[in-house]
Amino acid sequence: MPLAVPGLMRLQPLPELLQGYDTATQITALAHWLRHQPSPRSARVWIATGPDHTARAVVLARIAIGSQGIRVGPADWPTSSPSEHRKLLRDTLRLTLWRATGSTGAWLAPQVVARKRANCGV
């Protein structure tokens, strides 16, 4: 999922941001990285991803990054399919768990994590 952070002009992805292997862990990696940046909290993050994935990615980013006072918005806002609505609910619960405990709950499905990590090269 490409991310555009205004004011940051690096063209190469930062290693800290490549730690995620799914939407929830990518967003939490970005939230963690942003938390340690000296940038002003009035920043805005634009999420740019596939049309069917945008709604879910923006909601998750608003939970994780918006809680830091950073505004989050979509680069484009398409409508989601029914399967994306289910994933949105699932991942919203994961990010709520992350805010409360610091874990996305990925450890509950180690085989899925291993497959996703292998697919992403992480």
Q: Give the model confidence (pLDDT) of 39-90 as tens digits.
A: 665 688 888 888 778 888 899 999 999 888 888 988 875 566 778 788 888 8
Amino acid at the residue 5: V
For 116, the domain range is 3-120
Domain count, the chain: 1
Q: For residue 118, is pLDDT > 60?
A: yes
The Cα–Cα gap between 47 and 73 comes to 6
CB 33: neighbour CB atoms within 10 A?
Answer: 16
Give me the sign of the Cα torsion angle 100, 26, 43, 52. Answer: negative
